[in-house]
Structure 1
Amino acid sequence: MPHSPTSQFAAHEPRRRPVPDRGRTLLGPALRLVHTGQAPTRSALTSGLDVTRATAGAVTAELEALGLITVDSRPAGGGRGRPSHRLAVDPAGPVVVAAQLHADGVSVSLAGLGGRLVEPVHLPLPAATDPVRLLRAVTETGARLAADSDRRCLGIALALPNPVTEPDGTALAALHFAWPSGTPVADLFAAEVARADFGPGAPAELPSAVANDANLAALAEHRHGAGRDARHLLLVTSGHRGVGGALVIDGRLHTGSAGLALEVGHLTVDPQGRRCPCGNRGCLNSETDPDALLAAAGRTADPARPVLAQARELARSAAVNPAARAAVEHVVDRLGLGLAGLVNILNPDRIVLSGLHLDLLAGAPERLAAVVADRCLWGRSGRMPIVPAQVRHAGLVGAAELAWEPYLDDPQAAAPA
């Protein structure tokens, strides 16, 4: 069995304080506040929950006893009023496995609370990419990381580069892997997870989940990055291939009636443009992804290197390379058209760009803002904030959020069996 997580500030098991019934219902909201950095002290938690100091103390004692947070016995001073105890996620606490499939590889990591990843493992795609064998490779890698860790594993979640229906978890249009439309990916993944050994202390039936990678990246940015205080956050991203998007409204992902909302990659921005894998021409998907940028510069991707890395290098050379500059401006103009259309429909209060789009924003920030403002009704009355993503490995961090969700709802479920 792994060692019991303990506070880094105390050598002994924390004294459990009785938690009244109301306090138990506050465990989830309290853990979310600490997890997202909104309650760095017990005073901030008291305010965030709108409870008495005694109730906040009982709640934090329970979360500490569960091995989820630490309560520093040395109060945080420096301000007016009574100093308050510092709160943090427990660095020795349990973890989940976060995984992400890319068009040309696999990433897997362990993740604690607070959006904290252990350094991810990046692997090439296996030779066989049929659903069962690919999901098995992901599961086996995650199980190996968990079994080698001295922290209990509580769950696993996978970010996929294709639409995923809710609540059944089927994959639609998995174009990168040629999976049949309607592949029951959630069920197949759960079956592989059930066969794997995630180390001592892991639940007998380890919870598993799958979701679209752009949705999960938006969740990560909203909780831990550039979208923290946004009410209506639009994220648009281009990873290894294609374009994804997601919308967070009042802290919740907007996924539509079946989990398929915000497939922004198939918004047409040039009817005579490049052919998209979906069969149409000029989709945002095919006009603003890494392949599109390389093509605009007259280059062909080197198959021996990740296409995203090649496109990012090209975008970053725009300041000194006229051909790269022209290519960036060409792609930025099409990205701006797509963003303007989305803003006209969704009226977000912030746009976060990630992946290659982050580099396009850095390469031509004024041009992108001007295109959006010119084509957007709301942009003409005031520039729409377009900001770079802040979360590194946002797809993985978002997958971790998905895996942690049952425990953020019910922290007592994290108690050792």
Structure 2
Amino acid sequence: MGGRAASGTGSQTTGGGTVRPPRLERGRSALGPALELVHTGRAPTRAVLTAELGVTRATAGAVAAELEALGLIRIDARPSAAAGSQGRPSHRLSVAEDGPVALAAQVHSDGYRVALVGLGGRVVATTPGCAIIDPDPADVLRSVVEAGVRLLRTSGRVCVGAGLAVPSAVAEPDGTALNPLHLAWPAGSPVREIFADCVREAGLGVPAFAANDVNLGALAEHRHGAGRGARDLLCVATGHRGVGGALVLDGHLHTGSSGLALEVGHLTVNPEGRPCHCGSRGCLDVETDPLAFLVAAGRTPDADGSLLHQARELLLTGKDDPAVRTATEALVDRLGLGLAGLVNILNPDRIILGGLHRALLDAAPERLRAVVADRSLWGRSGGVPILACTLDHNSLVGAAELAWQPVLDDPLGALATT
């Protein structure tokens, strides 16, 4: 590994005559797992890191020292002891606040936003939201990358990679956006390839990734937010338009055989409801998104403003308006029906809601939970926790997770190329 951290360890000869490699060499395979433990907050101290990795304290110390030498984490060797505690406290571990960053971007129907995200899911810098979306994805993504480059220049940070969140199912392995309907982009746009080309043309020299925005939001929440500790996590969210879903199983996104799993927006929750662009009628996508709420409340949407912002504001300011209360109850009931169906099929141990659905949960938590419990077999057997997403920009943080993953897999190998 790093020559400086490994120097002086030497090979050791055991009583049986076998030669053991230096601690750092023995811990080479532990670098990535150790970084992920610190990154997700599961190893706040060296003692916890030692236990989680199943290595000796000396090896854990050597691994932590190497990660610190790489500029990824910080070790506090003299933490203050808690009141009433005995013995010397273990070294505290944290991500390096001045360390490398990932360039993250999210494109949606109302515009785009770009951010720099460090380890630990911490947003270091972000651009104001841009409200212009061109029908040509290459023009949009070129502007996205240019905004990211400006952030990097201002921050002076090292960039490890770039991640993009889009409001569309992204097919694997080619990275095409199959149905970016709310962007007016052509179906099947090769967004990952276009994004990677823009990153390369900008001279960043880092890998680029792209995936569905709700999938990435779920990944971020599982690692850093409301989904931490869940084994089978279901996320359902509505952002600016439409509804998306994602499932994290044993810490990994379940994307199906070709990246298209959990298209929950096309569950029917109101058979006599609005026509959906998928060809059906009364889908979650058109019955529980911001536009559906504004229409149900008798409001005329402002075409020049964010539908999500308008719907959230109406929920907050219209609590005493009978039309708003009726619309809220209608959307909560439809959302509950959809969640109950998903609970019956997937049996998750936690549900998290994002976007307007998060606001609906805040507005009528007992009603929503009652609908899910009443309409689902597993709900009746004890209930599934339904929580609000807690990260302000979870799709951006999730896009950064894509870019950070190669570093989490192989810190030395990934950073050697940046």
Per-residue deviation, residues 139-188 of structure 1 (Å, max 9, x unmatched): 11111211222111111110000000112101101101222222211111
1:40 aligns with 2:44: yes
C-alpha RMSD of the superposition = 1.7
* Matched-pair contact (CA < 8 Å) for 1:130–1:177: no
Q: Which amino acid aligns with 1:34?
A: V
The CA distance in 1 between the partners of 2:417 and 2:267, in whole Å, is: 47
1:414 aligns with 2:415: yes
- Runs of 5+ unmatched residues, structure 1: 1-12, 199-204
Deviation at 1:117, TM superposition (A): 0.4
Q: For residues 127 and 39 of structure 1, do their structure 2 counterparts lie closer, same or farther at Cα, with a shift above 3 Å needed?
A: closer
The CA distance in 2 between the partners of 1:325 and 1:81, in whole Å, is: 57
* Matched-pair contact (CA < 8 Å) for 2:110–2:132: no
* Matched-pair contact (CA < 8 Å) for 1:171–1:182: yes
Identify the match of residue 143 of structure 1 among 133, 142, 149. Answer: 149
1:404 aligns with 2:410: no
Deviation at 1:342, TM superposition (A): 0.3
The CA distance in 1 between the partners of 2:342 and 2:184, in whole Å, is: 29
Residue equivalent to 1:4: none
Q: Which amino acid aligns with 1:386?
A: I
Deviation at 1:125, TM superposition (A): 4.2
Residue equivalent to 1:24: 28
The CA distance in 1 between the partners of 2:272 and 2:69, in whole Å, is: 61
TM-score, normalized by length of structure 1? 0.92
Q: Which amino acid aligns with 1:342?
A: L
1:277 aligns with 2:277: yes
Residue equivalent to 1:241: 241
Aligned-residue sequence identity (percent) comes to 62
TM-score, normalized by length of structure 2? 0.92
Residue equivalent to 1:122: 128
The CA distance in 1 between the partners of 2:169 and 2:357, in whole Å, is: 20
The CA distance in 2 between the partners of 1:268 and 1:258, in whole Å, is: 23
Residue equivalent to 1:290: 290
1:156-171 equivalence runs, <5 A = 156-171=162-177
1:17-416 equivalence runs, <5 A = 17-18=6-7, 19-78=23-82, 79-126=85-132, 128-198=134-204, 205-317=205-317, 319-412=319-412, 413-415=414-416
Equivalent residue of 1:261, what SS?
coil
Deviation at 1:107, TM superposition (A): 0.7
Residue equivalent to 1:3: none
Q: Which amino acid aligns with 1:266?
A: H
The CA distance in 2 between the partners of 1:170 and 1:125, in whole Å, is: 23
Instruction: Name whichever of 179-188 and 347-356 sits farther off.
Output: 179-188
Deviation at 1:318, TM superposition (A): 5.1
Equivalent residue of 1:354, what SS?
strand
Deviation at 1:319, TM superposition (A): 3.5
Aligned residues: 399
The CA distance in 2 between the partners of 1:14 and 1:149, in whole Å, is: 29
- Runs of 5+ unmatched residues, structure 2: 8-22
Deviation at 1:15, TM superposition (A): 6.1
The CA distance in 2 between the partners of 1:364 and 1:152, in whole Å, is: 44
The CA distance in 1 between the partners of 2:125 and 2:75, in whole Å, is: 26
Per-residue deviation, residues 19-41 of structure 1 (Å, max 9, x unmatched): 53330100000000000001111
* Matched-pair contact (CA < 8 Å) for 2:271–2:281: yes
The CA distance in 1 between the partners of 2:138 and 2:128, in whole Å, is: 19
Deviation at 1:265, TM superposition (A): 0.6
The CA distance in 2 between the partners of 1:214 and 1:297, in whole Å, is: 26
Q: Which amino acid aligns with 2:206?
A: L
Residue equivalent to 2:16: none
Q: For residues 368 and 318 of structure 1, do their structure 2 counterparts lie closer, same or farther at Cα, with a shift above 3 Å needed?
A: farther
Deviation at 1:416, TM superposition (A): 7.0
Instruction: Name whichever of 127-136 and 388-397 sits farther off.
Output: 127-136
* Matched-pair contact (CA < 8 Å) for 1:17–1:61: no
* Matched-pair contact (CA < 8 Å) for 2:109–2:133: no
Deviation at 1:402, TM superposition (A): 0.8
Equivalent residue of 1:124, what SS?
coil
The CA distance in 1 between the partners of 2:184 and 2:232, in whole Å, is: 34
The CA distance in 1 between the partners of 2:110 and 2:203, in whole Å, is: 27
* Matched-pair contact (CA < 8 Å) for 2:344–2:376: yes
* Matched-pair contact (CA < 8 Å) for 1:241–1:289: yes
The CA distance in 2 between the partners of 1:394 and 1:45, in whole Å, is: 26
Q: For residues 125 and 309 of structure 1, do their structure 2 counterparts lie closer, same or farther at Cα, with a shift above 3 Å needed?
A: closer
Instruction: Name whichever of 28-37 and 150-159 sits farther off.
Output: 150-159
The CA distance in 2 between the partners of 1:196 and 1:52, in whole Å, is: 44
Deviation at 1:124, TM superposition (A): 2.8
Instruction: Name whichever of 99-108 and 147-156 sits farther off.
Output: 147-156
1:4-19 equivalence runs, <5 A = 16-18=5-7, 19=23
Q: For residues 127 and 83 of structure 1, do their structure 2 counterparts lie closer, same or farther at Cα, with a shift above 3 Å needed?
A: closer
The CA distance in 1 between the partners of 2:160 and 2:113, in whole Å, is: 19
Q: For residues 106 and 127 of structure 1, do their structure 2 counterparts lie closer, same or farther at Cα, with a shift above 3 Å needed?
A: closer
The CA distance in 2 between the partners of 1:121 and 1:228, in whole Å, is: 27
Q: For residues 314 and 125 of structure 1, do their structure 2 counterparts lie closer, same or farther at Cα, with a shift above 3 Å needed?
A: closer
The CA distance in 2 between the partners of 1:206 and 1:415, in whole Å, is: 11
The CA distance in 1 between the partners of 2:241 and 2:187, in whole Å, is: 19
* Matched-pair contact (CA < 8 Å) for 1:233–1:247: yes
* Matched-pair contact (CA < 8 Å) for 1:143–1:197: no
